[in-house]
Chains A and B, each alone.
Chain A
Amino acid sequence: MKKDADVIIVGGGMIGLSIAYWLTKKQKSVLVLEKTATLAAGSSGAGDGHIYHNTKMPGYHTNLGFTGGVMYPEILKDLGENCGYTEGSGSYLLCDNEKEYEIVAAATKKMQESGADIYMLTGEALREREPYLSKEIYAASFAPPGGKIDPFELVFAYARKAQERGATILCNAGAEEVLIENGTAVGVKTPKGAFYGDVIIDAAGSWSAYLGKTAGLYVPVRPRKGQIVVTEGCAPMIKGPVTTASNFCAKLQPELMSLFSETTKKLGHGAALEQTEAGTILIGATNEWDDFDKSNTIEAIEWLIAEACREMPALRDGHFIRSFAGLRPFTPDHLPIVGTTKYLKNYVFATGFEGGGLSLNPIIGKMVSELICGEPLSVTNEPLQPDRLVKPYGKATAEEIAQNLPKDMEAERGV
């Protein structure tokens, strides 16, 4: 059988390209297959630029984010590019009231106990750092290592470095099918032909359920829509990425959902704010179930702007010039899916990062490269083991399939 590369990566986003960066560093030959005409066309190109540490699950997940986030200076040095990286602005989680404060403070304490650099700030201490934030904000958790990076620039910088080291990147080459022989993944069929390699990696993000289906696997990754509104370029108003705590609190205490308005329930999140190097402020993102739809809605635009003005009242005098939307790959237990599966040999998952790709991709790229090269893992992937969620497609219930593969494959053919 012909062999095109040691490793074939399906998906040209930050996860796929981080893996390509790490594998080529270890002299592996790599082929990246991207469905669309350009890299960073999915979640990577539709998010904000947060290296955000405050809303992952306390313990392993949070620590993984911190580990990934602090890898940037060294990686960017190797890439020879800065990618709009801002170090040390810190990241904030804003509590509107005492109830949210209690939940966030308890979670933050747990994070501290497992070694994370994060602590609580009073409202006054928060506004000393970020004076434009509303006086109504009660308190915040603060993670000093948090920061910002431009996801587009990062993906393309990874790609250039990987190509320099011999990787091939093919766009307009969506994976139509994982090719399997004797229970082993051997290649990927695309409109540009079939490609064969020793290992096939699913870095397809929101489209992983469909890719999995072609490999006979049920992969419970669902697209979760996020809409973002963008302001005109403003003078520096806010240094770190901030998010409101309502969604995080509801994740930890689902009964809190009953206190939310219908709109908030549907749109699912307080607005996060981040100011880019160019001065524009990104406001977002919503958390919605809308299959693979990536359109903006009037409701969400109105709601995001209102939330942003509540958090930062000076924005009332600003102009909101643009909006966009993207899909986050959501998993039922909020943890990514990373590693091998007993159901298919030579098939490796690196998907389901929801909104955490920017803090996680450095360590995930490294982890997956270690896994494939048979090296000891710098960080265990035990809690991320795919088979906690993945199973043979035939074992999935009709209900599960309806939820995770929401519509006919036709529209999403090619991953």
Chain B
Amino acid sequence: MKRLSTEIAIIGAGPAGLCAAIEASKLGAKVTLIDENALPGGQLFKQIHKFFGSKEHLAGVRGYEIGTRLLEELEKSDAEVMLSGTAYGLFRDMTIGVVQKTNHYAIQAKKIILAAGGKENYMDFPGSTLPGVMGAGAAQTMINVNRVLPGRHVVMLGSGNVGLIVSYQLMQAGACVEALVEAAPAIGGYGVHAGKIRRAGVPILTSHTIKEVYGDGKVEGVIIAEVDEKFRVIEGTERAIAADTVCLAVGLNPMTELAHMAGCGFTFLPALGGHVPLHDDNMETTVPGIYVAGDITGVEEASSAMEEGKLAGIAAAASLGYLDQEKAKELKDEVQVRLSALRTGAFGEKRQTAKTEQMARMAAFLQEKGGRRP
């Protein structure tokens, strides 16, 4: 085992981690950015769609282009990047255990920013383990990053933005989306995305679910059925759709294992994907020196992950003395304005409410501890 040390260690080189690394490094801190993948960028490189928001949020720019810009900035910075490195644990004295191929490292940091992202929810039904059943995000990685078509005939479950966008991209990649199945009575995602796939002739079956996936050693078809208002299958409504691929777009949840291991305080907020770490407006958790940014703090979009990353990067660098409080406040306020703007509208407001609640609970925690982290 090799011992290394750094000032700010960032775990996860997706949108949040990249932005944190770039900001902190720009401000002068010694940064080590760790990612388990062979390439940095996280989800950005599979997002071939244009982003929403305003000009500051890079609206109209496609995800992978944003990724490319960030990697160029990272390249110019002094941040050290450790790829194919799995951060498997957080230990005493702010030390991270990292396995990189056959090497084992103990990396001690003054500050740690956790930007591990989120992971896809799974659904259990007969046949759910057959080859050909996969997360919609996995299918998206296959087509947009690895350029491999997972199958020709796809049934998508879930009509949130992920389900809608990935359905469209699967069609662009040459697959036929046989149906998009949604248990709720209405489509979950943006109308603009739903419109695109409806115009292409894909049936969107609301109040439906997957009852079973069948096939001999691989997916050969899907039995779908209508559900009542309590999401119970209505007997007699079953029908089969021939398919070789089933994609599950049934939400994401934060990858919080490292925050748990570090002893961070948590709270339960379903609007953010479940159990999320408490954090303040510096993105600092209940454990002094451990920050969070991006989906790990609650599942949102890449745009807000990037802003949270910047916030954490600035705050961590400021706490190390790389800029004075006044300057730090100025920079953080700019980010906060952009962040709030992203949390507006029908979808954003729910998250804004949950985020406000998350920070209120953090404040309550600190107050209980006499205003200081234990």
Contacts and interface: CB of A to CB of B under 8 A. Distances in A.
Interface stretch (B22-30, B47-55, B71-79, B88-96): B88-96
A296 interface: yes
Interface stretch (A63-71, A95-103, A298-306, A363-371): A298-306
A94 B76 CA distance: 55
A297 B95 CA distance: 9
B1 A296 contact: no
B83 to A, nearest CB: 20
Interface string B84-121: 00000101100101000000101000000000000000
Given A301-B97, A302-B1, A296 B91 contact: yes
Nearest to A293: B92
Contacts of A299: 1
A297 B104 contact: no
A291 to B, nearest CB: 13
A302 B104 contact: yes
B91 to A, nearest CB: 6
Contacts of B97: 298, 301
Interface in B296-342: none
19 contacts: A295-B91, A295-B92, A296-B89, A296-B91, A297-B91, A297-B92, A298-B1, A298-B89, A298-B91, A298-B95, A298-B97, A298-B104, A298-B106, A299-B1, A301-B89, A301-B97, A302-B1, A302-B104, A323-B89
A295 B95 CA distance: 12
Given A296-B91, A323-B89, 5 more contacts: A296-B89, A298-B91, A298-B95, A299-B1, A301-B89
Nearest to A297: B91
Contacts of B89: 296, 298, 301, 323
Contacts of A323: 89
Contacts of A295: 91-92
A236 B91 CA distance: 32
Contacts of B106: 298
B344 to A, nearest CB: 41
Nearest to B91: A298
Interface of B: 1, 89, 91-92, 95, 97, 104, 106
A323 B260 CA distance: 13
Range of interface residues on chain A?
A: under 10
Interface string A294-325: 01111101100000000000000000000100
Contacts of B1: 298-299, 302
A298 B106 CA distance: 7
Contacts of B92: 295, 297
A323 B104 CA distance: 16
B269 to A, nearest CB: 22
Interface in A113-167: none
A302 B106 CA distance: 11
A317 to B, nearest CB: 13
A301 B106 CA distance: 12
Contacts of B91: 295-298
Interface string A55-73: 0000000000000000000
A323 B91 CA distance: 12
A302 B95 CA distance: 14
Interface string A280-298: 0000000000000001111
Contacts of B95: 298
Contacts of A298: 1, 89, 91, 95, 97, 104, 106
A277 B1 CA distance: 33
A353 B353 CA distance: 52
Which 6 pairs, one residue from A and one from B, show the smallest C-beta to C-beta distance?
A298-B97, A298-B106, A302-B1, A298-B91, A295-B92, A302-B104
Nearest to B106: A298
A323 B89 CA distance: 9
A295 B93 CA distance: 11
Contacts of B104: 298, 302
A325 to B, nearest CB: 11
Nearest to B98: A298
B257 to A, nearest CB: 10
Nearest to B104: A302
A301 B98 CA distance: 12
A297 B93 CA distance: 10
A297 B106 CA distance: 10
A323 B106 CA distance: 16
Nearest to B3: A298
A403 B344 CA distance: 59
A37 to B, nearest CB: 16
Nearest to A295: B92
A297 B104 CA distance: 13
Residue of A296, A298, A302 contacting most chain B CB atoms (<10 Å) = A298
A301 B104 CA distance: 11
A295 B91 CA distance: 8
A295 B92 CA distance: 8
Interface in A247-304: 295-299, 301-302
A297 B89 CA distance: 9
A86 B26 CA distance: 60
A266 to B, nearest CB: 14
A175 to B, nearest CB: 24
A301 B91 CA distance: 11
A296 B97 CA distance: 11
Contacts of A302: 1, 104
A234 B1 CA distance: 26
A297 B3 CA distance: 13
A394 B4 CA distance: 48
A296 B106 CA distance: 13
